[in-house]
Amino acid sequence: MSTTEPLSGIRACLFDVYGTLFDVHAPVSARLTRVGDPGVARALSDTWRRKQLEYTWLRTVMGDHADFWTVTGQALDYAMASVGLTDKVLRARLMEAYLALPAFPDAVPTLEVLNASNLPLGILSNGTQVMLSAVLATAGITGRFTNVISVEAAHSFKPSRAVYALGPDAFGLKPDQIAFVSSNGWDVAGAAHYGYQAVWINRGDLPPDSLPGQPRAVLSSLSDLPHLLGRG
């Protein structure tokens, strides 16, 4: 953690979803064990995630929006081709699995503590409302959030400022009254640059990105978040 002092003035907390609350690599590792080469599974998963994000950024810059489900499928097509896989049944199963991603072990206990403290919680995600509804329902945490916000309302993707502006609008608060929590360094940079008190969940002990916008705190786990927010 980059600071041991609780953040001040926080009146709500927004979470990223993919990679922050839910493990995006689990579907591939669970469904490619039959390949026999763990390197293929890892290469597919890493490429899928990388292309998924790249396509969101590029589409935003190009001004040619497609929803996150479409982008996720297009990224999977590229990733499968990159490792020589053409199995349409496998593709369908991987896409289905994205609607039922497993939560990280520290996610639900952290949400329980924050809910008990009566801090309003929300989600701000690239995912569509259908995708978010499905993954939250599978994990049994739908009711833990006051606001579930999809970028589709802004017809853009993170780190567009129009996307981050959806959070203050939903809560009726100023950006610096909201903690924004993400495991994606670029997302944290975008949120901090917009004006949130951004918290980076640095699960992989990665170096910081050289981008505008610095996190207020860096945590290795969501478990430390309630203390940081003065709620644990």
pLDDT for res 146: 97
Give the H/E segment covering residue 122. strand 121-125
Catalytically active residues are 16
Give the Å distances, CA to CA, from 49 to 16, 63, 98, 140, 205. Answer: 15, 21, 11, 24, 18
Q: Going by C-beta distance under 8 Å and a sequence separation of 6 or more, which residues neighbour residue 138?
A: 99, 100, 101
pLDDT for res 37: 66
pLDDT for res 35: 53
pLDDT for res 165: 98
As averages over each run of 10 residues, the pLDDT of the chain (232 residues) reads 76 98 86 66 93 98 98 97 93 94 97 97 98 97 97 97 98 98 98 98 94 96 97 84
Alpha-carbon span 44 to 78, nearest angstrom: 9
Residue ranges of domains in the chain, CATH in brackets: 12-23+101-228 (3.40.50.1000), 26-97 (1.10.150.240)
Indicate the pTM of the whole model. 0.94
pLDDT for res 228: 97
pLDDT for res 4: 59
